[in-house]
Structure 1
């Protein structure tokens, strides 16, 4: 009802003093009292009655979700005269609640209940709740959710409770909107790599859960996992950690003796977390028992990390490894590995006792082109002890020991956008022979160049003809070359013998058309060489020998040469008819003739006495041993001849819908090259050089690569094997004498047309060690992380590889390599190299993989490097065996453990190195 505002006028009442009727006196008093209480009244606000919420009709689905807006039951307006002292009631929820259901949504205002049935959904703030049945008590600020039964009596529509990133799938749940507490029965949730199921879960707040009767596993089968950890009490903090009480490992629902009084699992949302790396136990024949690959991982920041690992043997041997990776998006990325080992063989006092230190340093760095398009920096470093990969006690890939060379390169380049454009580069290189232990380094190499300049080009910019195509460049090459050995590496003697030189060159060239069908080019090159030190040869009477004395100081020589070439392209097509399988063969020939002339620079040559009498003089140049060579003593007047050929066929396509024939490459190349010395005298120099022949072809859809190369000498040799000025055919032989031949075959096939094998990354540890990218020398075994698997990437995700009759798709692949080398320089006519290598991988079953890498050397008559690989996929677990049965590096390695990274320390592994 609505109250009307009373008047502010007072009621006038006349008293009759002589009447004293009691009834009238009481009545008048009551009226006066009632009137006084309403004289100064304020406005009374209309009372707000909540409107009834429209209910969804049964069996009718709506696109819009029903909403309930919670407001105060009484709204108070302020008067200009006085403010009411009564405080308004606070809303029972802090936001809007949205809900819907397929069957019905019933509101009981008397009991303050909202009941949702069949595919019920409820949304409040960051909470999403889906279930078969939901009951919301908005007086107690609680919600209840549970399953419902279908027509067969089976429970369906289990609750799905999501708050933020946490998702729980229980049998039933009770949740309080105000306190954020919840009670959950038979909850199922994913936390990182863990699948957690608990009989009862108590949600204390947004960050703490208590679980009773819980089990957690990394198995993808949540209801029937092949293994799990059973515990009675768990404290769970999402995104941070899991703390458990007594924990027991259960495999195939059978409890094992493996138990822990408590367990702690970090659950950080960060990509990496610092922590201990547990070592593995091993034993060696001559070094005793050992703990390997133990240490600590430091997650220093989002951009770089550090891993420190150590090995220790009971005879005193030990090893240390420092591994760090770093990356900044759109700028650079790289890694650094430093490895050191102190190796002790046998025991002190025994005759076979020895001690040595070996080390290896690797650095890989690449810069993103987006960082600065005008400059670049890259590094690929692999240096250290020459025998490191042969003697290391902890190697990820023994196949790396078969490599004979370690190489490194660090380079920086910058482009200057001027006219003409200039380029500057600085690089340091390193090459190390692990057999001879010799090391060649350049620290550094400086290169500077100016782009081509066309001084005779007109304003139109057209470069056509001999004159307008004349161009010149400027190139500078500076080098500090060091040659040393392992024992002198980075010692003062290493830098004392360094050679420093600068090479300046100015090439002047042009090209033009000749007789319409020929392409001709000519060039003149001027060079100036600077050296920081030279030599002086003289006969030393005291030593009775010729010695070289080093002369420190600047010296230089200048040379020039001339060259020209002319070539053309000839096409020939042999047609066989369009109704033939081979319709045509196309032959392309590119003959070329070149000429080069370099005059004699005798002025840079001196003489020295070769004996004590001083009567025998020999010529020499003080620039001998220079890194950019020496000036020529005699004229060089040569003509080069080369011919390249390609053969291509047009064949009828097997696909009848194709109207055009298919092009097939028969020979990628067939090259012949030789040269003729126009100044040859037939005694000190022969006119013709050997003919070099090379060819290559691809077969079977480019899967088989065949390459052949041979050297053919037209001259005969004498009894001592020296070439003489007499053609081989005149000496009773053939037109050419084959002096060397090399033939290689490479074949890679698989069970499918697609290449299912993983492409190894360029920074793979095997490649950085100098090994092969393929697995002909075996696959790498990361001893720090044995969870890497042969199954990785072999199947498409979600693909079922087993058919009804167990006709499983058994993928396989094979890599085949064959090499043959023939030598006949001195009529020895023998095969110096003849070997075959094979690598094969296959699946015996969808869960079993086997592989082998082996080969045979027909010259040495022995089996080459051999590795056998076996692996069993145990769903959440992995079991593998790598066995190398032959050679000095014979060993085997067995591993079984959980695949998950968070449980990587739950494993058992055993290694045996026969000779280490």
Structure 2
């Protein structure tokens, strides 16, 4: 079990009236556990307590004798008790310059790199004075030859470390007073002019400042307060707290603040909204709400936006996790969009929503079962019209998809059985059509080898004969956005169940060929069928739904034969390219499915009843209908790979280097034995596809083409005449495409991928070719952890190094289906990011469409690292999604709400 860090870390500091973060104050005060004493208070002597004389007890003579004997014994002993040692443990000390012991004053002085160790206390300083009569130690700085103070005290007690200018500590009372203490507490760096401990449960700070800046002595900003009272585990009370930027006080201040304490790592609290304004929706407060730290395993965030014209948005975000069990997150978004004002012609009102849920289960929780979910569903126009986020990658994606699945494996003495339940969702954001399965049930039994003996050896035709059983049940629904989850959505649901029993085997033929054969039996059950007939009153053919159980049964046969051929072309060991290796994998397949005309009927197409047409009552079923013609198909496939051996550029290596020329080059086609040359043509088009990589696998190239052996007539219809016999070439290229992706940078390090989870969940790209998204309360920085101390950091001189990276993508599509010989698509996209200085990053994402003759979506990015702060500016100067956004805020997660975020609003 572990504590799960959440995505929301909140600031709870006195200068923010709407926020209280108890965690930050606890961290600020931890260093006080070393203890301190009050130099300004006066000790009050305890009043003497009078001891009343004890009355002599009544005793017998025997008792009196015993008492006298006992008293006599005590006189013989020394009635004076030995004085206890001034320290209860051994003190170890040393110094580099000198160690001076003054017996008269009872002082020990250590000078220059002095060190003192006592119990759990470690003290290092320039000078240390130990007064062993008062049980106190004093430590401070010393001056070097230039007059500069060096060797500041370093006081450590347990896990707490303080680096002040000077310190006074009492070993007996454990009290201390510290001047100009410096301490790190979590993300905060704290400096206090005076630190005291009143008693074991009350601490005081005077003249305290706390900041997330690396340099606490010269911070870019800090929070100043003169009085702080801290009660561990209970409360923190402060006086006036003021924010100071560049040593200039700001108006951000509070007269006092009270913080209840909590030992939990995550604290519930208010999320401060950011201000914005729009020409069409008025003024707004965005991303305000409340964070609930429910437990170590899950949290909840409620956020909202409000515009003065009536528009509003609400969001629920939750993250949950349990080690070795499960992990996930849930996001629910709802927005009410109002454009313009009521009474104006452009006034519109619309509600949009989006639900995202991601869940994964650790295999260690239960190895025999699993549960996972990836849900992204809602309004088709949500990512195009949302007022809270701008994500071009999500806008351009036309599909939202979801899947929730559960599976379980049943182990027994026989073959294993597997059961799975899956609910899927696919939504076209352009047509607003939604296809769902609620649910799909899959049940299968592992392959069984009835002819294998107890030795388990599977060799030969008969021993490799195997069979299995598959069951698939599905409930399919097709609907639209407007009917989603309404009663009418379920009226046209399609339900079906399919049984499949494949019987197959594989074997070697003539030593070099791999062969396989299979016989498949399929049975489909439906709960309703259709009946077609001509309706005279309506004057058209109508479909009548027939409810009730019905089924059809089919079978088919398939077989395949393949081999692998290796060829090497040696060009000579003295040449740059020494050899080329070619690997071919040809295969031929055959499939046969007989006609199942018995499942077909006829209906009249007109009122005369003379024009009849065949149909199957199973048409429109979820698993389709059986075929009414024989299917005799021969398939041909050929896959190729080309590899070269080249001389290595490293002269110390004697072996040649292997270079992949073509990862794959595939050809595929088929021949219909039963084709009549009129309705169906024998040969199908040849499909060619391939891919390769260049420049140390940094450039990926993929290509494909469709080659048709038949000619076409004037209307563009394929005819039973080969293209070569019609005055053309052997094949007619009907379509072709090529894509090219290239990523490079100024260093050999792999470029860090854009943190664009939202776009990837919507099927978009993981790079920034479509710019970086503006997701409202989820700001993404271009700086990463390696920028500060990594190898790519620019030196003080501008010309010494200029880190950069580039992502390049090119797409070309050719169409010639009807002799148009036209470039359908031809576009290029590019994204470049560069460091102008160590603290300035800039980037651009743009492209050009050569067909439409226009610039594609363009975004300019600028970001400045202001040490403890971050500033960025994004600008899309033109196009449908023209917008700009400016952000400046503190980097630290605990103070992430101290920001100014201004964005333009896009009306879509």
Q: Which of these residues, 830, 851, 862, is aligned with residue 859 of structure 1?
A: 851
Query: How far, CA to CA, are the matches of 2:856 and 2:71 in structure 1?
Result: 113
How far 1:300 sits from its partner (Å)? Answer: 1.0
1:745 is matched with which residue?
740
Q: For the Cα contact (< 8 Å) 1:758–1:793, is it kept in 2?
A: no
The answer to whether the aligner puts 1:878 opposite 2:870 as a matched pair is yes
The alpha-carbon distance between structure 1 residues 684 and 307, as it changes in their structure 2 partners (threshold 3 A), is same
> Aligned pair in 2 of structure 1 residues 190, 625: CA closer, same or farther (>3 Å)?
same
Please tell me whether the aligned partners of residues 798 and 837 of structure 2 are also in contact (alpha carbons under 8 angstroms). Answer: no
How many pairs were matched up? 840
Counterparts of 1:358-377 in structure 2 under 5 Å?
358-377=352-371
2:706 to 711, 717, 736: 711
Equivalent in the alignment of 1:722:
717
2:350 corresponds to which of 356, 379, 386: 356
* SS across alignment from 2:266: coil
Contact 1:890 1:915 in 2 (8 A): no
Cα distance in 2, alignment partners of residues 811 and 277 from structure 1: 37
Aligned-residue offset at 1:524: 0.7
Q: Which residue of 2 aligns with 1:319?
A: 313
* C-alpha distance in structure 1 between counterparts of 2:75 and 2:130, whole Å: 34
1:630 aligns with 2:625: yes
Alpha-carbon distance in structure 1 between the residues aligned to 2:198 and 2:817 = 87
1:433 equivalent in alignment to 2:428? yes
Q: What SS does the aligned partner of 1:42 have?
A: helix
Match of 1:449 among 444, 451, 458: 444
Displacement after TM superposition at 1:775 (Å): 1.0
Deviation readout 1:353-411 (Å, 9 max, x if unpaired): 11111100000011112212222111100000111111111115243111110000111
1:57-96 to structure 2, matched below 5 A, reads 74=81
Aligned to 2:787, the other structure's residue is in SS state: coil
Out of 829, 851, 855, the position equivalent to 2:821 is 829
Q: Which residue of 2 aligns with 1:383?
A: 377
Q: Which residue of 2 aligns with 1:773?
A: 766
Q: Tell me if the contact between 1:284 and 1:914 (Cα under 8 Å) persists in the aligned partners.
A: no
Contact 1:415–1:422 (CA under 8 A) maintained in structure 2: yes
Q: 2:837 aligns with which of 825, 837, 845?
A: 845
Q: Aligned residue for 1:685?
A: 680
CA distance in 1, matches of 2:739, 2:200: 67
Deviates further, 876-885 or 770-779: 770-779
Q: Distance in 2 between matches of 1:525 and 1:381?
A: 35
How do 1:356-755 and structure 2 match up within 5 A?
Answer: 356-418=350-412, 419-755=414-750
Deviations 1:839-866 (A, max 9, x none): 1111111111011111122222222222
Deviation at 1:899, TM superposition (A): 1.1
**Runs of at least 5 residues in structure 1 that lack an aligned partner in the other structure:** 1-36, 49-72, 76-88
Which one scores higher on RCO, CA 8 angstroms, separation ≥ 6? 2
- TM-superposition CA deviations, 1:76-131 (whole Å, max 9, x none): xxxxxxxxxxxxx7776565555454556666566554444443333445433222
Q: 1:738 to 1:269 in 2, by over 3 A?
A: farther
Provide, for residues 425-467 of structure 1, a one-character-per-residue CA deviation record: whole Å limited to 9, x for no partner. Answer: 1111000000000000001111111111111112221111111
In terms of mean alpha carbon deviation, does 110-119 or 898-907 score higher?
A: 110-119
| Inter-partner Cα distance in structure 2 for 1:267 and 1:791 | 34
Aligned 1:140-159 pairs, distance under 5 A: 140-150=134-144, 153-159=147-153
Q: What is the CA–CA distance in structure 2 between the aligned matches of 1:785 and 1:45, rounded to whole Å?
A: 84
- Aligned with 1:221: secondary structure? coil
CA distance in 2, matches of 1:590, 1:269: 66
Task: Note closer, same or farther for the CA distance 1:628–1:343 as it changes in structure 2 (3 Å cut).
Answer: same
Which residue, 873, 879, 891 being the options, matches 1:899?
891
Give the distance between the partners of 1:547 and 1:800, measured in 2 at CA: 72
Q: Is the 8 A contact 1:450 1:473 kept in 2?
A: yes
* TM-score, with length taken from structure 2: 0.88
Aligned with 2:725: secondary structure?
coil
Q: How does 1:1-150 map to 2 (within 5 A)?
A: 41-42=72-73, 74=81, 97-102=91-96, 111-150=105-144
Q: Is the 8 A contact 1:193 1:900 kept in 2?
A: yes
Residue of structure 1 equivalent to 2:65: none
- 1:223 aligns to 2:217 (yes or no): yes
Q: Which runs of 5+ in 2 are unaligned?
A: 1-67
Instruction: Pick the structure with greater CA Rg.
Output: 1
Give 1:700 deviation, angstroms: 0.5
Once the two structures are superposed, residues 607-661 of structure 1 have per-residue CA deviations (whole angstroms, 9 ceiling, x without a partner) of 1122222222211111001111111100000100111111000000011111211
Cα distance change, pair 531–379 in 1 and its aligned pair in 2 (3 A): same
Aligned to 1:911: 903
For residues 519 and 230 of structure 1, the distance between their equivalents in structure 2, rounded to whole angstroms, comes to 80
Note if 1:888 corresponds to 2:880.
yes
> Partners of 1:566 and 1:549 in 2: how far apart?
46
- Stretch deviating more after TM superposition (122-131 or 449-458): 122-131
Does 2:287 align with 1:293? yes
Q: In 2, distance between residues paired with 1:154 and 1:901?
A: 36
Tell me, yes or no, if the aligned pair for 1:891 and 1:913 is still in contact at 8 Å: yes
Say if 1:854 and 1:865, in contact at 8 Å, map to a contact too. Answer: yes
- Alignment partner of 1:233 is 2:227: yes
**Aligned-pair CA distance for 1:185:** 1.1
Q: For residues 202 and 188 of structure 2, what CA distance do their matches in structure 1 show?
A: 17
Alpha carbons of structure 1 residues 655 and 804: separation in structure 2 relative to 1, 3 Å? same
1:322 Cα deviation (Å)?
A: 0.5
Alpha-carbon distance in 2 for matches of 1:665, 1:560: 43
> After superposition, what is the alpha-carbon deviation per residue over 1:192-251, rounded to whole angstroms, capped at 9, x for unaligned?
222122222223345543222332221101232222233333335678876543344333
Contact in 2 for aligned 1:285/1:915 (Cα 8 Å):
no
Deviation larger for 128-137 or 319-328: 128-137
Distance 1:498 1:707 in 2: 40
SS in 2 for 1:389: helix
Asked if 1:200 is matched to 2:194, the reply is yes
State how far apart, in whole Å, the 1-side matches of 2:239 and 2:70 are.
Answer: 74
Structure 2 residue matching 1:467: 3-state secondary structure: coil
